Amino acid sequence: MTPPAGDKISISQGKLTVPDRPVIPFIRGDGTGRDIWASSERVLDAAVEKAYGGQKKIAWFEVFAGQAAKDKFDTWLPDETVEAFREYLVGIKGPLTTPVGGGIRSLNVALRQMLDLFVCLRPVQYFEGVPSPVKHPEKVNMIIFRENTEDIYAGIDYAPGSDDANKILAFFEKEFPKEFEKIRFGTREKAAEFWKQVGAPEPTDVMVGVGLKPVSRSGSVRLIHSAIAYAIKNQRKSVTLVHKGNIMKFTEGAFRDWGYEIAKSYFGAEEIDGGPWCQIPMGKPGGGIIIKDAIADITLQQVLTRPEDFDVIATLNLNGDYLSDALAAQVGGIGIAPGGNINYITGHAVFEATHGTAPKYADKDMVNPGSVILSGEMMFRYMGWNEAADLIIKGLNGAIASKRVTYDFARLMEGATKIKCSEFGQNVIDHM
C-alpha cells in the first residue's frame, strides 16, 4: 500500500489543518461497495473541482479491509490499513463483510476501537421526494451522537457453558450471593427443576451467557461534551440524553446524571424550574440551548409521533444503534444514511456507509450510492470544505427531484425512472 503524492491533515489544539491536496485513505468495500465507491468518488471529486476550481483536490489512497484484504493479504484487517487511518487522520470506507467464526467479530467495531473513535455521528435528515413510510418525514432533522467504545459493544461477553462464563458465575455466587440469586438459571438445580416442570429430557448443565456493560464517567463526558459543543457550533436548539436509567441505574442512569453535570460545569447551564432539565443562559456561547433527557423506549415512540421535539441526541452504544436505524427508516432507509466515527481530541475520523454489503447485488451497478456520497459530504464538513459539501447536498436534492433514481427509490416513487448506480452519481453531478 503506497500512498499517493499529497500532504497529511494535522491537528493542533483541537483544530484541524487541512492542506489543499490532502491524502485521504479509503476502503472500497465488499459486495456492492465496489459499485458504490466508483460512483461516489466521481461525485466527491466533482464537488471539490466545482467548489474550488482546481485549487483543492483529494489524493485518494486505497487501503484494504474485509474480503478484499483477506483475498489479497490473507488477513481481514491489515496493520497497514489501520496505520494509514492513524497517520492521515481522516478517511472513508464502504460496507465490509463481517468475518464468520473466530477472530474479529466486526471490522467496523475493530477500527473504531483501535483508533478510539468514541463518537458515532449519525445525521438524519429528509430529502424532498424520497419515499417514506411516515406522513411528515420532513419534520425529522436530528444529529445522533452515539457512544462508540463502551456499553455492551465493548465485546466483553462469554459463551454459555464455557469455562470463562462459569468462572464469572462462580465468582459472582461467592462474592455477591444476593445478586447471584437473580440469575434465574445460574445453577444445575434450577435448570433441572425447570426441565422437570416442562417434561423435557434436556441436560441440566448451567448454560448462561455472561456479558459486561462498562459505562465510565470519562467515556460519557467526552461523548456528551462533544454533543453539546456541536449543538453550540451549529446553532441547534437542544441536546437530549437518551438512556434506560430507570432500569440500569448505575450505568445508563449514571450517563444521564453525568450529562447534566457536564452541561452545568462546562457550559454554565442552569436548571429549569428546579431541574433536572437545564438551559444555557443567554449571553453565553450556546445561549438558549436546552439539555434534557428521555427514556430510550419512550424516545423510540416520540421520534415517530413528535420528531420536532428532538434535535441533537447523545446516547450510549446500544440505544444509538436502535435509534439511528429506526430514524433512517423514517427518511428513506439505511441506503442513504451516512455515518462518521470521530475522535474530536486526536482528530481521527472514519466516515462510512451504514448499510451492509448486499452481495446478491454486487457488481450489478444498481444500488443506491447515497450513503457513501453523504458520508463524503460529512467528511468535507469535518475538514472545513463546506462549499464542496453544500454542492453535494444541492446535487442530491436535484437528482432526487428529477425522479431519475436507483431501483430502491424508483419502485416507490410515482413517475420515477430507474437508473443505474453509476448514472445516479452522474445525475447528482449534473444538478450541482
How far, in Å, CA of 377 to CA of 187, rounded?
54
Q: Catalytic: which of 45, 116, 157, 297?
A: 297
Whether 244 is catalytic is: yes
Give the burial class of 176: count Cβ atoms within 10 A of its Cβ; 0-12 exposed, 13-18 middle, 19 or more buried. exposed
**104 close to 77: Cβ distance less than 8 angstroms:** yes
Residue with cell 418525514: 137
Q: Catalytic: which of 88, 153, 230, 260?
A: 153
Neighbours of 52 (CB within 10 A): 14
How far, in Å, CA of 214 to CA of 51, rounded?
45
Whether 153 is catalytic is: yes
Phi, psi (deg, nearest 5) at residue 376: -65, -40
Task: State the Cα angle at 345 between 386 and 229, rounded to 5°.
Answer: 60
Whether 264 is catalytic is: no
**320 close to 143: Cβ distance less than 8 angstroms:** no
Whether 116 is catalytic is: no
**222 close to 255: Cβ distance less than 8 angstroms:** no
Q: Where would I find the H helices in 31-134?
A: 33-52, 67-73, 79-88, 107-114
Phi, psi (deg, nearest 5) at residue 400: -70, -40
**156 close to 212: Cβ distance less than 8 angstroms:** yes
How far, in Å, CA of 153 to CA of 148, rounded?
8
Q: Catalytic: which of 244, 257, 260, 408?
A: 244
Strand partners, 134: none
Q: Catalytic: which of 293, 321, 365, 408?
A: 321
| Residues labelled as active-site residues | 153, 244, 297, 321
